[in-house]
Amino acid sequence: MHLVPAIAKFMRRHPNVRIDLDLSQKFAGLVAGGADVVIRQAEEPRLQAMVARKLAPLRWVLCASPSYLTRCPVPPSPTDLARHECLTYPSNARGEWTFSEQGGAPVVARVSGSYRASNADGALKAALAGLGVAALPTFAAAAHLHLGALVRLLPHWRLPERVLYAVWLPGPNLPQRVQALVRFHGERLGAMPAWDRDLPGSPA
């Protein structure tokens, strides 16, 4: 939702560059697939054989639709999520969301529900449809929070941040087109991406 408009802007600046975009959810096989660069969130151990540049933090927020909240009360604390229909991911096999509050110890909340999604887009659409409470990356949730289609829950509690990387294989000469693309995204995003600015429901 943010990547394609950014690529369009990049291509207007660099009209001789050709882009072949693969939106696969799997970590691309850079050698087998021949990709020049991969942009995605990843865990540090998976990057040890590659070159990686941090592009932006990926912050997460807890959200639900107004229609869901008319049926179920707003949870006052993370542990109250045990009584809610939570939209989970298959990767979270333990059924836990970890929250932290400034100056306090982490709190682990047990979560479960009848709907699971393989990615954030699937959880977002379910949350918009009123199916439950979702943990969503701010890049996916921000526009809907601004429109009032989603409501931010537990704003004083933080979910663990992740990192968006540009990743490529090591080599003596990085193509100029890759250097330009990575530099463009790094300058465009940074420590406070546009979608994180003035996020509705953020603590004062």
Neighbours of 29 (CB within 10 A): 11
68 neighbors 132 (Cβ within 8 angstroms): yes
184 neighbors 176 (Cβ within 8 angstroms): no
| Lowest pLDDT segment from 93-107, 122-136, 183-197 | 183-197
pTM of the model: 0.79
pLDDT at 182: 83
- d(C-alpha 47, C-alpha 2), whole Å: 23
81 neighbors 75 (Cβ within 8 angstroms): yes
Domains delineated in the chain: 3-57+162-190 (3.40.190.10), 60-153 (3.40.190.290)
Residues in contact with 131: Cβ distance below 8 Å, sequence separation at least 6, in sequence order = 68, 85, 87, 113, 115
pLDDT above 50 for 127: yes
Q: pLDDT tens, 41-71?
A: 765 545 566 777 888 888 999 999 999 999 9
- d(C-alpha 38, C-alpha 54), whole Å: 12
Mean pLDDT, rounded, of the chain: 83
Ranked by mean pLDDT, the top range of 12-26, 49-63, 71-85 is: 71-85
| Lowest pLDDT segment from 70-84, 94-108, 168-182 | 168-182
